[in-house]
């Protein structure tokens, strides 16, 4: 049984998460609906960032993030951290929480979708704030190396 989870986080922890319903295609309409929920959660959980309009979004260049998504973000004055095309060294999926969830749930067997969700959430919210802070520090260092290498591939220093 495969389960897909969308997670948005900042240096303080999880802001929004959402399991993708079984059989749901992650198309632009679905992603815009997720972004609407994200915006509501930023408003609720990070009100200071919302009020001074200092929150920014970093997401990948997936094909679903095309015209409709860009229009939605522009209309809602959402600042985006650009993701360079073909830049796997900076892919958001490589950051916490996904490697952490994969490592802690590896080898576990669950009988139901509900068990998977419950255990995934337990592990997701067990990630300490310091781990999220470390990820942003590592991401910054990695980003600086990508700039210094002028977009060329380099070895080592994987994100944690």
Instruction: Give the per-residue pLDDT at 118.
Output: 94
Q: Which of 136, 129, 156, 149 is nearest to 14 (CA)?
A: 129
Please enumerate in sequence order all residues whose Cβ is within 8 A of that of 67, keeping only pairs 6 or more positions apart, or say none. 28
As a CATH number, domain 4-148 is: 3.30.420.10
- Secondary structure (DSSP) of 90-151: G-GGGSTTHHHHHHHHTT---SSHHHHHHHHHHHHTTS-HHHHHHHHHHHHHHHHHHHHTTT
The structural domains of the chain, with segments of one domain joined by +, span: 4-148
Tell me which DSSP letter residue 21 carries. P
Instruction: Give the per-residue pLDDT at 136.
Output: 82
Instruction: Give the per-residue pLDDT at 122.
Output: 94
User: Which segments in the chain show pLDDT lower than 50?
Assistant: 159-160
Contact 131, 104 (CB under 8 A): no
Instruction: Give per-residue pLDDT as tens, 140-151.
Output: 887 788 778 776
Instruction: Give the per-residue pLDDT at 62.
Output: 67
pTM of the model as a whole: 0.81
Please enumerate in sequence order all residues whose Cβ is within 8 A of that of 10, keeping only pairs 6 or more positions apart, or say none. 46, 55, 132, 136
């Amino acid at each position: 049984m495969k389960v897909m989870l969308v997670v948005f986080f900042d240096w303080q922890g999880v802001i929004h998460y959402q399991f993708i319903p079984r059989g749901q295609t992650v198309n632009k309409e679905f992603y815009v609906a997720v972004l609407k929920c994200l915006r509501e959660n930023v408003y609720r959980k990070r009100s200071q960032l919302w009020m001074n309009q200092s929150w920014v979004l970093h997401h990948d260049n997936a094909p679903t993030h095309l015209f409709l998504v860009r229009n939605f973000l522009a209309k809602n004055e959402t600042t985006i951290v650009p993701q360079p095309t073909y830049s796997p060294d900076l892919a958001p999926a490589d950051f916490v929480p996904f490697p952490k969830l994969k490592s802690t749930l590896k080898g576990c067997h669950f009988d139901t979708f509900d068990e998977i969700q419950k255990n995934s959430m337990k592990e997701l919210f067990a990630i300490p704030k310091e781990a999220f802070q470390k990820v942003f520090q590592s991401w910054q260092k990695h980003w600086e190396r990508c700039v210094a290498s002028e977009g060329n591939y380099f070895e080592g220093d994987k994100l944690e």
